[in-house]
Structure 1
Amino acid sequence: MSGLLGRPDMVFVYDADEIEKIFRQEEKMPFRPSMPSLNYYKHVLRKDFFEDCAGVIAVHGESWYTFRSKVQQVMLQPRTARMYTGAIDEASSAFLKRVSKIRDENKEVPANFLNEIHKWSLESIARVALDVRLGCLDDDAHVETQELIDAVIVFFKNVGVLELKLPFWRFFNTPTWNDYVNALDTIFSFATKYTSLALSRVKDLSNNEELSLLERILLQEKDTKLASVLALDLFLVGIDTTSSSVASVLYQLAQHPDKQQVLYEELSKNLPKIDESLQAHHLDHLRYLRACIKETLRMFPVVIGNGRCMTKDTVISGYRVPSGVQVVFQHYVISNTDKYFPKSGEFLPERWLCDHNAPRHAFASLPFGYGRRMCLGRRFAELEIAIVIARIIQSYKLEYHYENLDYYINPMYTPNGPLKLRFVERN
């Protein structure tokens, strides 16, 4: 696609082999397709705060590389994420209590159940990043937590309009642009408020087991700005993405009771009782749980595409793609193609088990991206999703008694319609 006003030429790639080649040869500072609207917010509207430390989202070059290099050791080590199993399990327990309260006489949750999952996701992030209990799932939850969730939804919804349609916002303040900036201001204010509170009560940094992510960054880098911006990025992109993934997994398990039963049997063998604390080692043998999550994200990836902006001329499928062209990887299309996943339209978690015979292309399903710009919060997202799904299926049998839901992008790729799941207690 070429000639789009205000956008570079784009090449769409549907070949996993070509995607692998591009990732394998990526340079020290790969460029993703840029987000000019967020870049403008960080580097123009709020330049006085971000200065030369603007995080990893919508940031490229030396600034991105310096920031990423300083935080990725903490963020991407699986053993670090596992230290937060208890905190995430506590947030999941609060979510289960919330589910019990909001069910109706038919044991169904309200149509806006996705918003409740958003609350759980926010509570989990706050516990991990700042060691803050927001109380999002309490009956008397603060209004500001819902305002933050609403702001994140507006951000994702409007960024698509600003980036993919005619960029009128560059010339005058459109209503979409104004809503977008107001949403970012809300997220910015929330993150800075709670980060400041967390910084004011920093614990003994020598107790490595109980540190929040913010404290771990402080211990390593002695840089409060770096820690604050990381927290902001986590609030910005870590709520809606994780909760949409959880919604999809729950919906798919409700749609496939036979798979749900296999998962329940695995959980019954490996997890402590619901009223006992969960430890990291309890998750080590949950192969089928991980398979259910992978299969859901294969069929319904929260982000349907990824890409790179070529920084040098590159040959793709025999064609020379010039520097400056955006190469878009169509992950949703690829991972739902029989060429890469036989019977791709069927929910088959078994295909992800080690003893399954069908070969899989390592680059045909990449829900968290790959390489130097892989999702920075991947380890924590995977842990959060696994724990909350495990605890739900351990406690409830999921059912769904309505017409199948379509999926749509609003703003993540998620079930479209009332998520009126039925939660039936297990004996």
Structure 2
Amino acid sequence: MLCPMMRFLDQNLCLFWAILGGDFQIEHIDKVSKKLYEKYGKIVKMQGLLGRPDMLFLFDPDEIEKVFRQEDTLPFRPSMPSLDYYKHVYRKEFFGDNCGIIAVHGDKWQNFRSKVNQIMLQPRVTRMYVKSIETTSQELVDRIEVIKNEKNQVPDDFLNEIHKWSLESIAKIALDVRLGCLDSDAHPDTQKLINAINTFFMNVPVLELKIPFWKIWNTPTFKEYLNALDTIREITLKHVDIALHNLSQDYSDELSVLQRVLKMENDAKTASNLALDMFLVGIDTTSNAVASMLYQLSLHQEKQAKLYEEIKNLLPYKSTQISHEKLDQMDYLKACVKETMRMYPVVIGNGRCTTRDRVIGGYQIPKGVQVIFQHCVISNLEEYFPRSGEFLPERWLKNSELFRNHHPFASLPFGFGKRMCLGRRFADLEIQTVIAKIVRNFKIEYHHGKLDYHIHPMYTPNGPLRLTFIRRQ
């Protein structure tokens, strides 16, 4: 049985092909998703799409929870066929049967994930990297001082500086190497790698959401995409090889992720491919989250002042070292992160691919349908977050009048379940640490026209981040 909204989409398939293959701009996926919800409701099916499975959009956290709770032992996440092709066909001789965790499914995914879960998801392990991440965060603070002008405003390409900080942090965590990304004389590979990662993410939605001509012939976009992935792989593995060469067997608590995998598994290939995946998806995501949060704090001075007071109480001097104990006490900081990620999640959706026939929302959904959870839409609905259009970190504080028990599946910036973001604990640590360092050192202001958000390639403010950083006494 099909609901009326499903019948309507079938009858108007030409309209949606025009959207997906013609005038539709990738950066406006968020707005298209919202229109789908407003016009058709909480469950929307699109079928008969050339070159891709049928799609089911879910805007109901109750149904999303059921999908997650009932998922199989080996959940199938809608993968990127283009990245699957790169790993399993184009560079099969390199990856073999050990392709990491991204665009990998089944036993191969389970085998790899089981080897690295203990390292990536245990809080006690993550906390060991606070000192390293604080060091790279201080480098960004120092860099801000260097690049801002006489009016204390940073250049239009400030987001690129945050990318450099994120790359430096990942290199330290994954490989225990300092790349010098924020140095004035940074190696050309730094920008080359950042550009390649941006190219990769920019081309993914083009290849995956528009008509997949790349499956028939090598389109210019697909060639650019493959070249970008090769660049990421070659530069990352250059640093991996150096790290492997410099490895000491005198293991201590402050091991890189690479060292931890080698210590547990004695498997250089697993260690290398995990580092590669961390570089691939751990830079743009974290840096755009930080950029979004800095922008929101600049727009909401009263929230920034409250955050500064919390940070100053725990870090009375700018030189006071950050520790995981201090971060644990920064409740308002964590609330600001959650609120930013609720309103503007850097990845606007998640999903699963049905591995068997099942019932969703009262409808029979066959095997092979891609079920899409558009959290960006759900987490901005009044039904689940009253005053949803307001930046209110207090809604996450249990001692606040604004606090309420939110639906746990209405805001899932890192996903959920067995395929939850593997690097979420490191991302949280990086974001909290760098924001604490920046807010402790600067008052952040913004004196230009308000920016909309768009997909470029993450969900991020649409325009240059001309932030003003005023040094605090």
Q: Normalising by structure 2, what TM-score?
A: 0.89
Unaligned runs of 5+ in 2: 1-45
AA matched with 2:165: W
- Which residue number in structure 1 is paired with residue 447 of structure 2? 401
Counterpart Cα distance in 2 of 1:131 and 1:203: 11
Is the partner of 1:12 in helix, strand or coil?
Answer: strand
Contact 2:354 / 2:371 at 8 angstroms: preserved in 1? yes
Contact 1:205 / 1:211 at 8 angstroms: preserved in 2? no
Counterpart Cα distance in 2 of 1:210 and 1:251: 33
- Which residue number in structure 2 is paired with residue 197 of structure 1? 242
Is the partner of 2:308 in helix, strand or coil?
Answer: helix
Counterpart Cα distance in 2 of 1:377 and 1:359: 26
- Which residue number in structure 1 is paired with residue 200 of structure 2? 155
Contact 1:272 / 1:278 at 8 angstroms: preserved in 2? no
Is the partner of 2:57 in helix, strand or coil?
Answer: strand
Q: 1:48 to 1:327 in 2, by over 3 A?
A: same
Contact 2:357 / 2:367 at 8 angstroms: preserved in 1? yes
- Which residue number in structure 1 is paired with residue 272 of structure 2? 228
Whether 2:200 is the aligned partner of 1:140: answer no
Counterpart Cα distance in 1 of 2:329 and 2:316: 13
Counterpart Cα distance in 1 of 2:158 and 2:373: 31
Counterpart Cα distance in 2 of 1:138 and 1:59: 36
AA matched with 2:153: E
Q: Normalising by structure 1, what TM-score?
A: 0.99
Counterpart Cα distance in 2 of 1:330 and 1:277: 39
Whether 2:292 is the aligned partner of 1:245: answer no
Unaligned runs of 5+ in 1: none
Counterpart Cα distance in 1 of 2:333 and 2:388: 19
Alignment of 1:316-395 (within 5 A): 316-356=360-400, 357-395=403-441
Q: From 33, 47, 51, give the equivalent of 1:6.
A: 51
Contact 1:205 / 1:215 at 8 angstroms: preserved in 2? no
Q: From 308, 315, 319, give the equivalent of 1:271.
A: 315
Q: Which runs of 4+ in 1 moved over 4 A?
A: none
Tell me the CA shift for residue 74 of structure 1: 0.4
Counterpart Cα distance in 2 of 1:288 and 1:100: 26
Counterpart Cα distance in 2 of 1:388 and 1:160: 29
Tell me the CA shift for residue 107 of structure 1: 0.1
Counterpart Cα distance in 1 of 2:420 and 2:79: 15
Counterpart Cα distance in 2 of 1:206 and 1:94: 27
Whether 2:310 is the aligned partner of 1:310: answer no
Tell me the CA shift for residue 312 of structure 1: 1.0
Counterpart Cα distance in 2 of 1:151 and 1:33: 23
Tell me the CA shift for residue 359 of structure 1: 2.2
Q: Deviations over 1:4-25 (max 9, x none)?
A: 1110000000000110111111
- Which residue number in structure 2 is paired with residue 60 of structure 1? 105
- Which residue number in structure 1 is paired with residue 93 of structure 2? 48
Counterpart Cα distance in 2 of 1:86 and 1:196: 24
Counterpart Cα distance in 2 of 1:362 and 1:378: 17
Counterpart Cα distance in 1 of 2:166 and 2:239: 16
Tell me the CA shift for residue 205 of structure 1: 4.6
Contact 1:334 / 1:364 at 8 angstroms: preserved in 2? yes
Counterpart Cα distance in 1 of 2:215 and 2:242: 36
Counterpart Cα distance in 2 of 1:36 and 1:258: 45
Counterpart Cα distance in 2 of 1:77 and 1:307: 24
Contact 1:55 / 1:64 at 8 angstroms: preserved in 2? yes
Counterpart Cα distance in 1 of 2:381 and 2:317: 40
Moved more, 352-361 or 262-271: 352-361
- Which residue number in structure 2 is paired with residue 182 of structure 1? 227
- Which residue number in structure 1 is paired with residue 28 of structure 2? none
- Which residue number in structure 2 is paired with residue 76 of structure 1? 121
Contact 1:205 / 1:219 at 8 angstroms: preserved in 2? no
Tell me the CA shift for residue 277 of structure 1: 2.7
**Number of aligned residue pairs:** 426
Q: From 173, 184, 187, give the equivalent of 2:218.
A: 173
Is the partner of 1:83 in helix, strand or coil?
Answer: helix
Q: Deviations over 1:158-213 (max 9, x none)?
A: 01111111111111111101100110000000111100100111123532x12100
Counterpart Cα distance in 1 of 2:162 and 2:197: 14
- Which residue number in structure 1 is paired with residue 24 of structure 2? none
Tell me the CA shift for residue 272 of structure 1: 5.3
AA matched with 1:222: N
Counterpart Cα distance in 2 of 1:271 and 1:53: 44
Counterpart Cα distance in 2 of 1:135 and 1:182: 25
Q: Percent identity?
A: 61
